[in-house]
């Protein structure tokens, strides 16, 4: 019988080395974020409230902005596709590639592509699909999955990476110097860029007004990928729209600061379509595939605020549960607080399989405080817990709360229990044959019980007031 939540079990079994990598990597990002955000803005809370309102407005009028974005993109020479499911998106992308006889491509980092498992699908259909983001490249070599939105290899250290490079023939010898590792990856990837016939990217934002696709990277890999490729395919979630170009300034200022503590991400690209005749290089053909994959269902739910997310991972970095367990413990593409909300919602009919994730939170509220678009994550976690309760979904390790609910909502029973509870001070409960209780008491000591004293004091005080 499982007596712990699955994330608790994972946190207990994770290696100390991996846990140290996650804790140090996420803590460093949080420190940088605080420094740069409060240095540059007297009241950053106002900025994130504004960003939240812009996103909220966009989501309330998403159908209109999608229509506007389609027109704007087509005016720029971009071919627009809509994919209702992950399978639709994969089939659309494969069809584009097959129709043009493309067998080799590079791909920059895209959480949407991770969400629909695009890489294995393309490889299965004979397409050589190589990740060009360094972290994703290492993940691909190790046949692993990302454990962080911005730092997919936050759970790995440089010694593991050096061994991977040596094993895969990327390096002739073992060398765990970070600069050497990066240089060796560049040499390997540069040749692949030149061989690629297409590039697949995600999209951080799309302006409905101008049809500009915005990509931000710190390695310039998407720019490298586009230079020699003839075809560019961008897979973008429908929630990535913003109304105007002016709104981009708000989000770009927040994204870099919240994600990595940078004032602006190193490479910020505004792509207005395929290259024109005056440009020496770049894709001659551009496609945008808008991905739904359950997002409209989320939009109709009482957790629609989660679609404001701009994938900065600030909530992951600050979450005590994520730091102890790492992203893999969440068993889905999105980990941490955002994943605990988004993953069960995107799961659709498979919601029961991930219904335990909203309970993997201390509800400390730190995720809400750092969120650059003001998503009330703790509230959303509670709403999903309520959904699981109403659907009678069993959650491993969760103690039954109905007896407490009865106790707390029956005044006479509550008063009696409080008075009788003083007996707890004399009972050897630390030796009670209840394993969870023994474990809990093994880490803390119960204070002396004073049940009923407050009520007695209050009644006494009220009587004195009446007499005076």
Residue 264 has pLDDT above 50, yes or no: yes
d(CA 253, CA 156): 29
Sign of CA dihedral 324, 330, 334, 337: negative
The predicted model gives 7-27 an average pLDDT of 87
Token output for 393: 């979904």
Q: How many residues does the chain have?
A: 468
Q: Which pTM value belongs to this model? A: 0.88
* Angle, in degrees to the nearest 10, between helices 62-75 and 44-60: 90
Token output for 179: 């600069």
The predicted model gives 110-139 an average pLDDT of 96
**Interval 149-193: pLDDT, tens:** 999 999 999 999 999 999 999 999 999 999 999 999 999 999 999
Percentages of the chain per state (helix, strand, coil), in multiples of 5: 55, 10, 35
Residue 342 has pLDDT above 80, yes or no: yes
In three-state secondary structure terms, 355 is: coil
CA 381 to chain centre: 14
**Interval 52-111: pLDDT, tens:** 999 999 999 999 999 999 999 999 999 999 999 999 999 999 999 999 999 999 999 999
Task: Give the DSSP H or E segment for 130.
Answer: strand 128-131
d(CA 363, CA 142): 34
Nearest to 312 by CA among 28, 27, 107, 30: 30
- pLDDT > 70 fraction of the chain, expressed in percent and rounded: 99
pLDDT of residue 1: 46
- Segments in 270-420 forming alpha helices (H): 295-300, 314-318, 320-325, 336-346, 351-354, 366-370, 377-390, 402-408, 411-420
List beta partners, residue 240.
Answer: none
The conformation of residue 277, written as its DSSP 8-state character, comes to T
- Segments in 41-110 forming alpha helices (H): 44-60, 62-75, 86-99
d(CA 461, CA 367): 42
The pLDDT-based confidence of 3 (bands split at 50, 70, 90) is: low
Nearest to 328 by CA among 9, 51, 35, 106: 9
Contact 414, 408 (CB under 8 A): yes
Buried b (16+ CB within 10 A) or exposed e, 85-98: ebebbbebbbebbe
CA atoms within 13 A on the CB side of 211: 20
**Interval 295-327: pLDDT, tens:** 999 999 999 999 999 999 999 999 999 999 999
pLDDT of residue 8: 84
- Strands 267-271, 213-217: pairing is antiparallel
d(CA 323, CA 239): 27
Nearest to 154 by CA among 310, 18, 15: 18
pLDDT of residue 168: 95
Residue 418 has pLDDT above 70, yes or no: yes
pLDDT of residue 307: 98
Q: What angle do CA 234, 211, 292 make, to 5 degrees?
A: 50
């Amino acid at each position: 019988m499982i007596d712990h939540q699955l994330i608790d079990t994972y946190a207990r079994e994770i290696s100390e080395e991996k846990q140290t990598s996650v804790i140090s990597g996420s803590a460093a990002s949080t420190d940088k974020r605080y420094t740069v955000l409060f240095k540059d803005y007297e009241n950053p809370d106002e900025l994130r409230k504004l960003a939240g309102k812009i996103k909220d407005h966009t989501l309330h009028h998403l159908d209109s902005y999608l229509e506007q974005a389609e027109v704007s993109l087509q005016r720029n020479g971009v071919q627009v596709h809509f994919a209702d499911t992950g399978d639709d998106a994969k089939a659309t992308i494969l069809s584009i590639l097959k129709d043009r006889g493309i067998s080799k491509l590079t791909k920059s980092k895209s959480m949407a592509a991770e969400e629909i498992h695009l890489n294995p699908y393309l490889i299965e259909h004979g397409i050589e699909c190589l990740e060009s983001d360094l972290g994703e490249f290492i993940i691909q070599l190790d046949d692993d999955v990302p454990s962080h939105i911005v730092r997919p290899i936050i759970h790995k250290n440089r010694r593991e990476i050096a061994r991977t490079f040596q094993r895969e023939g990327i390096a002739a010898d073992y060398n765990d110097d970070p600069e050497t590792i990066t240089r060796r990856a560049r040499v390997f990837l540069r040749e692949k860029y030149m061989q690629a016939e297409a590039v697949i990217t995600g999209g951080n934002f799309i302006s409905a007004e101008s049809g500009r696709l915005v990509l931000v990277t710190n390695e310039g890999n998407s720019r490298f990928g586009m230079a020699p490729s003839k075809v560019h395919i961008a897979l973008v979630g429908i929630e990535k729209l913003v109304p105007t170009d002016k709104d981009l300034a708000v989000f770009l200022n927040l994204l870099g600061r919240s994600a990595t503590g940078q004032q602006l991400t190193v490479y910020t690209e505004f792509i207005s379509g395929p290259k024109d005749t005056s440009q020496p290089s770049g894709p001659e053909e551009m496609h945008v595939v808008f991905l739904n994959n359950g997002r409209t269902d989320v939009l109709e739910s009482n957790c629609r605020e989660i679609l404001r997310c701009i994938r900065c991972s600030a909530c992951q970095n600050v979450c005590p549960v994520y730091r102890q367990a790492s992203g893999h413990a969440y068993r889905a593409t999105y980990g941490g607080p955002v994943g605990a909300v988004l993953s069960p919602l995107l799961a659709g009919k498979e919601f029961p399989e991930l219904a335990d994730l909203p309970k993997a939170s201390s509800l400390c509220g730190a995720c809400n405080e750092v969120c650059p678009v003001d998503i009330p994550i703790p509230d959303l976690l509670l709403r999903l817990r309520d959904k699981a309760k109403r659907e009678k979904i069993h959650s491993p390790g969760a103690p039954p709360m109905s007896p407490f609910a009865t106790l707390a909502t029956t005044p006479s029973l509550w008063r009696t229990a409080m008075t009788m509870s003083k007996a707890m001070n004399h009972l050897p409960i630390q030796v009670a044959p209840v394993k969870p209780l023994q474990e809990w008491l093994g880490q803390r000591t119960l204070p002396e019980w004073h049940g009923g004293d407050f009520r007695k004091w209050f009644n006494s005080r009220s009587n004195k007031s009446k007499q005076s």
